Amino acid sequence: MSLVEITQHSHPVALELLYATDKNFTGKIIYKNARCFLHEKAMPLFEKVILLAARQGYTLKIFDTFRPKKAAQALWDFCPNPMYVADPQKGSNHTRGVAIDLTLIDSNGHELDMGTPFDDFTDDSHHSAVLAPEIARNRYILLGIMMSAGWDFYNNEWWHYQLFSPRDYPLIEDDYGMM
């Protein structure tokens, strides 16, 4: 089992790895090195997402993928709310390398309006939220692309997708040079 690195040179995506900056919900840098990885078994589905998005005129913007255990602990220490942050004692799907947090950007390089920013821990971030029609449309576009490519969604976060049966994948101990 190994992780595959995703870069803007290896794939036509935009990376804004917010945990490598202080522009995240903790206000602190979590990752010392901004690197983006997915489990090798997630890569065919990820590449299908890229293709499906491009066919509709969109590019992916990735906020987070693999998350080292030390990073998962730092997020939990700041916000121990299992509705939005995985308890590191139970393990995160990000720490298994099988989850991705992302949005869509249009042909002008603008993010689609999803109604809330990434890591907004309110009911408005839920897939079931009652939203303005344009925001709902944008979320459904992302949801449709992701599910058509074979990803499962997490109801509380419009930006979070994961492989089905994520607990079938082991937690990854290596930090892959991120911490």
Which amino acids are annotated catalytic? 157
Q: What is the DSSP letter of 179?
A: -
Give the tokens for residue 104: 């869509």
Cα–Cα distance, 29 to 158 (Å, whole number): 23
* CA distances for 105 relative to 3, 9, 58, 138, 163, angstroms: 25, 18, 6, 10, 22
Cα–Cα distance, 175 to 173 (Å, whole number): 6
Q: Where are the alpha helices (DSSP H) in the chain?
A: 43-55, 69-78, 133-148
Q: Are 64 and 71 in contact (CB under 8 A)?
A: no
Length of the chain, in residues: 179
DSSP code string of 70-103: HHHHHHHHH---TTTS--TTT--STTTT-EEEEE
